[in-house]
A and B are shown apart, each in its own frame.
Chain A
Amino acid sequence: MYEHDVIVVGAGGAGLRAAIAAHEEGADVALVTKLHPVRSHTGAAEGGINAALREGDSWDLHAYDTMKGSDYLGDAPAIDTFAKDAPEEVVQIEHWGMPFSREDDGRVSQRPFGGMSFPRTTYAGAETGHHLLHTMYEQAVKRGIEVYDEWYVTNLAVTDHEDPEDRVCHGCVAYDIKSGEIHGFRAKNGVILATGGLGQAFDHTTNAVANTGDGCAMAYRAGAPMEDMEMIQFHPTTLPSTGVLISEGVRGEGGILYNEDEERFMFEHGYANNDGELASRDVVSRAELTEVNEGRGIEDEFVHLDMRHLGEERILDRLENILHLAEDFEGVDGLDEPMPVKPGQHYAMGGIECDENGETCIDGLYAAGETACVSLHGANRLGGNALPELLVFGARAGHHAAGKDMKVAEIQTGPSAKSEDGAVEPPVDPGAVDAGTDDVVADGGAAATPKSVVKGAVEEERQRIEELLEADGINHAEVRADVQETMTQRVNVFREEDGLKQALRELKDARREYQNVAVSDPSRTYNTDLIHTIETRNILDVAEAITIGALAREEFRGAHWRAEHQERKDDEWIKHTMLAWNDGDPELYYKPVELDGDEETYEPKERSY
């Protein structure tokens, strides 16, 4: 058994920042990550990092924009904290050597971004995430922070008290991918989940293959509720074959979208008569899919994004990276041909419910980054707000887990924050196939010592993995493909009641199928078959949570569009959807949105740009 004060699961931007923060407080920290830190998906971010750094800008403007962007589903205490801490955090990474783009006077450059009332997006070329990730990993190396790289965390070690709010997290179970050995990791102070996005629940996503929602699913099964899972952001310009992102910059520079009849459909079919291609992400995504659904898509699948008219010089100057992407991943030369694009899953606004210190309702269990939901982005994340989130809330989780005193959080978590029960009529019972017997949280009763809780969890995982390796059965890839297809067909940009219900049926089928899944590679050495099999279970849990949330929320808010409900219903729906696992029997309830900020109370307004 390995022992550390703080264990951080995942080493993307959020995990690294949390580890550095805990280390600053004198804690003995370990990073446990299934990919080597520099391989994390934070490296793919292109656009930038928002922070109010300059005269004329201020944290409360940034907070206001973020609240408005969230379509009034963000929590004011989270948003205020975020906007206040962001400048210091961004300057901090500059002090750590981040190669930001520069102004003539040597200060970091800032540029305008969608939904921001001030040009407050700092950036490093079109590779901001790459530089952020590497800069932070370098600082972790400098501090000698211990990294267990290529270790896959399969479960948490949590006491099995009846009420999740009484439970304590003592560590986790992980296995060394290179050797196949399974070990317990005991955390004296806390475990911080920073496992990133869940894009692999969809078959078309900008997310990496490793983004399988592991942290979300593990926390959920341990008893921490998931919040606002239905809020998934789709990006309108991704390459059809891979999902690789074509930055908004192309449309910003004047790129045009065409359908099969070579119509500039954003205008000609009246989707956005003022802003055209530059309307917000959700509007453009819906327009593209409508074109395809009405038979005007190219190859019945995508539309064209054309930038040829911008001229070679301008393209090479500002969008060179895009030419490489189109060429490398689609075999298309953007100078000679229009590029094929379609909407793709991009970001999960929801996630593990936590407070401003990153703590969940389970003592000692924290979450940070895309896997978490402090409720900063609400129903819609603004571009450039995810990277500062990693910094601000990664740091706070790290400090807090290491024992630094912080004020009691204003955001309430856990079932006691419930405002009302949720009502949703699923066509099948969601959750575990054999509810109650699947995935017991831990064992040993309330009196168990921390070590025995970890040991118990290790034993269970050993058994589960042993069974997966020894049994005969179907390949996880089939189940995964089914789930991804269901989600893309029915829980995508457009959502209809019947489709969502059908999705729940199909997900239940997939769960049944998963009962028969087995790993056919018998080797303990670098068994990716085993990793993908365990991941697929996690994908199933998050996919179902997304779908239940989408069925429950009967309104149209931010990224969440419902055929039957074409308006934002503020009277009823300024509340978070919460889903608790309850030993395999998911329970839906609601929690109020906190609109009282530090300076003022936010008044919901019409969102128009």
Chain B
Amino acid sequence: MSTQIEQQETESESEQEAESAVESPGDRRRAEKQQRLDEQKQAEREESTLDDEETIRLKVFRYDPEVEGKQEPRFDDFLVPFHKGMTILDALIYARDQYDSSLTFRHSCRQAVCGSDALFVNGRQRLGCKTQIAELETPVRIEPLPHQEVVKDLVVDMEHFYDQMEAVEPYFDADELPEDELEEQRQSRENREKVKMSTRCIWCGACMSSCNIAAGDNEYLGPAAINKAYRFAMDEREGPDRKQERLRIIEQEHGVWRCQTQFSCTEVCPKDIPLTEHIQELKREAVKNNLKFW
């Protein structure tokens, strides 16, 4: 079974994102901060700023194929006491440990590096551990990632995502290595900078879940896998032959050309990876490469 919830906002916001693709981290931070301040003021105006005594209402998606009474998907409400700095993951843990120990979700690092708690929160893909409750409208609606099979409650089946990742041969494969086993390969700083953002992916699956194309075409490699291909195709240590091979993989029928530049992946990626840009760049590389053959 799969949850299909309409996504609002995504389209209009994605245009903004496209325009501001070149901003620096500083600009981005300032913009984000401004946005937060605005939101906070808005909230104050509505006299709903959260303080420590308040409770938050969570509406959490529940489903278990095995347990009678949970086989029909439903939403459960949990009232959780709020404290400053509280994240979605904190609230879920509270709900589980205090009210219902069968409430099921994946989590581990609680610091946005393990990629296991991507969730659909108030209609958007987010990492539970990285999302401050104070910034959300209440009640907070928490669902599993859309367009993925639900295993139980908030846990989705990631197999398809892993398969797509593995389909791009996601491993370094240098043509030749230095003879001396104690000598590194050389890589220029520029080249490392170029691949840097692409190497930050934590396999959370948020991008894939937000992508309309992936939702309609099960074979589409999807943004994360294409980004993985980018990470190696652009690494100068691999050599031209391997790069050819990599371009062939991403150029297949369900590869880069399926992407319709909707930016929803870029929009939701918790690691700020410019996914759409990477896909576009690979399209250009592929064209250049084909021209060479003619």
Contacts and interface: CB of A to CB of B under 8 A. Distances in A.
Contacts of A103: 189
A330 interface: yes
B29 A316 contact: yes
B108 A39 contact: yes
B43 to A, nearest CB: 13
B102 A523 contact: yes
A105 B186 CA distance: 7
B12 interface: no
A387 to B, nearest CB: 15
Interface stretch (B196-204, B206-214, B248-256, B273-281): B196-204
A477 interface: yes
Contact of A38 (B70, B115, B178, B183): B115
A360 B109 CA distance: 29
Interface string B97-133: 1000110110111111111100000000000011010
A520 interface: yes
A300 to B, nearest CB: 15
Interface stretch (A88-96, A161-169, A225-233): A88-96
Contacts of A329: 85, 87, 110-111, 129-130
Contacts of B203: 36, 38
Contact of A138 (B101, B104, B172, B178): B172
B26 interface: yes
Nearest to B165: A141
A94 B185 CA distance: 7
A431 B153 CA distance: 37
A348 to B, nearest CB: 17
B25 interface: yes
A96 B85 contact: no
A125 interface: yes
Contacts of B170: 138, 141
A38 B171 CA distance: 14
Contact of A43 (B64, B83, B114, B166): B114
Contacts of B80: none
The size bracket of the interface on B is 35 or more
B238 to A, nearest CB: 8
A477 B166 CA distance: 37
B83 to A, nearest CB: 8
A323 B195 contact: no
Interface in B124-156: 129-130, 132, 134, 151-153, 155
Interface stretch (A126-134, A283-291, A486-494): A126-134
Nearest to B98: A477
B188 interface: yes
Contact of A44 (B111, B178, B196): B111
A521 B151 contact: no
Contact of B182 (A88, A130, A142, A529): A88
Contact of A244 (B110, B162, B235): B110
- Main SS of chain B's interface residues? loop
Given A141-B171, A525-B151, A95 B177 contact: yes
Contacts of B195: 99
Given A39-B108, A106-B186, A97 B171 contact: yes
B8 interface: no
A205 B108 CA distance: 13
B215 interface: no
A477 B109 contact: no
Contacts of A519: 101
A529 B90 CA distance: 17
Contacts of A102: 187-189, 192
B175 interface: no
B53 interface: no
Contacts of A320: 25
A522 interface: yes
Contacts of B171: 96-97, 138-139, 141-142
Given A102-B188, A141-B170, A333 B114 contact: no
A41 B104 contact: no
Contact of B108 (A99, A210, A245, A523): A210
A457 B116 CA distance: 31
A583 B252 CA distance: 60
- Residue in A312, A521, A524 whose Cβ sees the most chain B Cβ within 10 Å: A521
A91 B113 contact: no
Contact of A131 (B90, B186, B199): B199
A331 B183 contact: no
Interface in B79-99: 83-87, 90, 97
Contacts of B153: 526
A526 B152 contact: yes
Nearest to B173: A142
Interface in A56-113: 87-88, 91-92, 94-97, 99-108
Given A88-B181, A333-B33, A125 B104 contact: no
A170 B105 CA distance: 33
A209 B187 contact: no
A332 B170 CA distance: 37
A525 B188 contact: no
B101 A35 contact: no
A528 B105 CA distance: 8
A35 B114 contact: yes
B32 to A, nearest CB: 9
A39 B116 contact: yes
B151 A526 contact: yes
Given A41-B109, A209-B107, 9 more contacts: A36-B162, A39-B108, A95-B174, A97-B174, A97-B237, A100-B192, A208-B110, A523-B66, A526-B104
In the A-B complex, the 6 residue pairs with the smallest Cβ-Cβ separation, listed nearest first, are A97-B172, A106-B186, A521-B102, A138-B171, A142-B171, A39-B114
Interface of A: 35-36, 38-41, 43-44, 53, 87-88, 91-92, 94-97, 99-108, 125, 127, 129-131, 134-135, 138-139, 141-142, 178, 208-210, 241-242, 244-245, 312, 316, 320, 323, 325, 328-333, 475, 477, 481, 519-529
21 contacts: A35-B108, A38-B203, A39-B108, A87-B182, A91-B182, A94-B185, A97-B174, A97-B232, A99-B196, A100-B184, A107-B186, A130-B200, A134-B199, A245-B111, A316-B26, A320-B25, A520-B102, A522-B102, A524-B66, A525-B66, A526-B153
